[in-house]
Amino acid sequence: MPGFGKEFNSTLQGYKGDLLVDFDGTLATYDSWKGPTVYGQPIKEMIDRIKQWINEGYKVKIFTARACSTNEYRLDEINALKKWSKEHIGIELEVTAEKDFKALEIWDDRAVTVEFNTGKIKTIM
């Protein structure tokens, strides 16, 4: 099961839901904005992890602000990211800027994990 090693504990455990993975800084290296459809190098550890999840039956989506509705290049970015995923992962992943009820986890370089129903910041060792 994905998650933070054996620490992962969810009321959705056993449900094969969606895993949302941020693009810039998580799936591909990022050092500064260089324009739409300009991307850093793939991060091998995440690529390998995504391939494993797909083989285990999870649906993986690229979760990025590049696909947000206020981005004037949104459709170009979505199509380019689908091609990028086909090239580096082997399949076209769905690209979205929205989380939905099927989201099991979100993997992101900027997120802070909060313990369920407590408001406390979760520390992961």
Name all domains of the chain by residue range, CATH numbers in brackets: 14-107 (3.40.50.1000)
> Torsions phi, psi of 80, nearest 5?
-65, -40
The answer for residues whose C-beta is within 8 angstroms of residue 32's C-beta and 6 or more apart is none
Instruction: Name the percent of the chain lying above pLDDT 90.
Output: 66
CB-based contacts of 54: which residues, under 8 Å, 6+ apart?
A: 60, 89, 91
The confidence score (pLDDT) of residue 25 equals 97
Q: Report the half-sphere exposure of 84 (CA within 13 A, side-chain side).
A: 23
Query: pLDDT band at 125, cuts 50/70/90?
Result: low
pTM confidence score: 0.83
Query: CB–CB of 19/58 below 8 Å?
Result: yes
Given a cut of 60, is residue 11 above it in pLDDT?
Answer: no
Q: What average pLDDT score do residues 36-53 get?
A: 95
Q: Give the distance between the most distant pair of CA atoms in the chain.
A: 41
Q: pLDDT digit string (tens) for 62-86?
A: 999 999 999 898 999 999 999 999 9
Instruction: List, in order, residues 6 or more apart from 106 with CB less than 8 Å away.
Output: 20, 21, 22, 63, 99
